[in-house]
Structure 1
């Protein structure tokens, strides 16, 4: 038989209502009496109804931390993940943090919610946060990024191969002044995409003609493209580190009287819904979102049988989607 509030009240020498108040945040109760009730409850192994409910809810909860929901790619990821978790009876709790910041500020809130798993996308996970999650038995999965300095699960598109595919395509179209608009330099998506891109250009006897950072934003991509296309010798092709910057580059080129792909070939990365719009028809690298989410859910579901400190990294191939911009 589980200990009851009546037993706690009897052992602590208080009323049942006092036991209820002791476990209710903000309730009026003498601090000494509350401490005595909590001590007796711990000795008996009593769990309040509110805590039992919270434990039931947290057992099926997955927390997502994102740092860039302004990028249309991540709401698409969020929608796909939420539907996949709902299909298996789990709930999704979402936190957002400013792009480029780490998650340590959220540690108390995440640990207090006691989620079954933590999914991190477009945000930086510190080793301290990863260790805290391991200590509390919370499985951590990085989505669309890899951090080799922390021991956690990761699921990502093959960004290196995607960069190679973009360069191969542009070289085959005899583009000779190929520029690159990057994202945030210390992210794995930026590093891997530019590494594959640069390697393939070098193998073809070329180098990156011009390079600027767009910070993964529309405004940043527009400004970078405008600056690159205003020079005396402009690029004849651009590979952008994500689609939203590629769409901005198309807009900047149009305002300068340039046409795609005749004057300028443009390739993006992600394949967000807007990439297929007739006003853009963006050639891009499609990330396998459904497969990536299935991998994430599989890692979460394996948590019941796989130790939390046993981790895997899954790299899934993207696909070059050829449209009208290149």
Structure 2
């Protein structure tokens, strides 16, 4: 049987009430008496009810680190993940950090919460954070991104194939002056989508007419698209690295008196809810969010049977959704 507060009190020569106060931060108890009680408790292997409750809670907690909650795609991911974890008796703790921020600054907070797993999306995992989590037995899963420089689990859409699909679709609709609006260049989502897009164009004997950097934001894309569309040889089609940038492209085109798809075909990536709004009707590559989240939860649930050093990478196919913008 587990040791009780009564046994600790007997061995330490104090009352049961004193044992309770010793485990209550800020309670009034002589420091030397507290130290003696804690030493006896450690020797007997006693944990207070509050600490046992905290251990149970932390064992069922999953921490999500997200760096771009302003993008409507990630609140959708967060909502889907939270509901999937609740269905298996787990809770979600969320840390929001600025895009491209150093995750190492969060290490003490994450380790202090003692989660059973860490999910990282739209943020870059450092090797320091990965090593710290491994040392503390915390399973790490990258969601919607892949990092070759760290050995952790990853679940992502097939961004390369999605970029190819966008290019082939635009070529199939007779577009030849095709531009590209990229995101943040050192992320796998930007890199893989851009490479797949350019590769499909080259194989068809074409190339990207012009490029702009939208930094995965509405504001950044709006300015980049205005620059491309006011150039002498403006594109007749754009592939934008995510939907929020594609919506900005539609708005920028309207500002210049152009319409989609008559004057400019526009394709996005993600299929956020706004993409289906009648004012946008955005053609886009849909990410399989439900299946991606299912894979993530499966990896987390297997944490008791699969060694931490055994990692997997799941690449799931997206789907081209054709609407009115292209």
TM-score range for the pair, normalised by the shorter chain length = over 0.9
Distance 2:275 2:284 in 1: 8
Cα shift at 1:292 = 0.4
Mapping for residues 83-232 of structure 1, pairs under 5 Å: 83-232=83-232
Cα shift at 1:112 = 1.3
**SS of structure 1 residue aligned to 2:235:** coil
Mapping for residues 16-31 of structure 1, pairs under 5 Å: 16-31=16-31
2:31 corresponds to 1:34:
no
Mapping for residues 164-313 of structure 1, pairs under 5 Å: 164-313=164-313
Bigger Cα displacement from structure 2, 168-177 vs 282-291: 168-177
**SS of structure 1 residue aligned to 2:64:** strand
2:14 corresponds to 1:14:
yes
Cα shift at 1:16 = 2.4
Cα shift at 1:15 = 2.9
Cα shift at 1:213 = 1.1
Distance 1:54 1:306 in 2: 24
Moved over 4 A (4+): none
Cα shift at 1:216 = 0.8
Cα shift at 1:257 = 0.3
Distance 2:223 2:51 in 1: 52
**SS of structure 1 residue aligned to 2:284:** strand
Distance 2:109 2:28 in 1: 25
Q: What corresponds to 1:53 in structure 2?
A: 53
Return the TM-score normalized by structure 1.
0.97
Bigger Cα displacement from structure 2, 155-164 vs 165-174: 165-174
Cα shift at 1:28 = 3.2
Q: What corresponds to 2:324 in structure 1?
A: 324
Q: What corresponds to 1:2 in structure 2?
A: 2
2:64 corresponds to 1:80:
no
Give the RMSD, CA atoms, in angstroms: 1.2
Cα shift at 1:11 = 2.1
Cα shift at 1:175 = 1.6
**SS of structure 2 residue aligned to 1:284:** strand
Distance 1:37 1:229 in 2: 74
Q: How many corresponding residue pairs?
A: 326
**SS of structure 1 residue aligned to 2:262:** coil
Cα shift at 1:2 = 1.2
Q: Where does structure 2 lack aligned partners over 5 or more consecutive residues?
A: none
Distance 1:26 1:314 in 2: 48
Bigger Cα displacement from structure 2, 11-20 vs 107-116: 11-20
Return the TM-score normalized by structure 2.
0.97
Bigger Cα displacement from structure 2, 2-11 vs 39-48: 2-11
Distance 1:192 1:92 in 2: 29
Q: Deviations over 1:44-95 (max 9, x none)?
A: 1010111100111112111111111110001111111111111111111111
Distance 1:23 1:171 in 2: 69
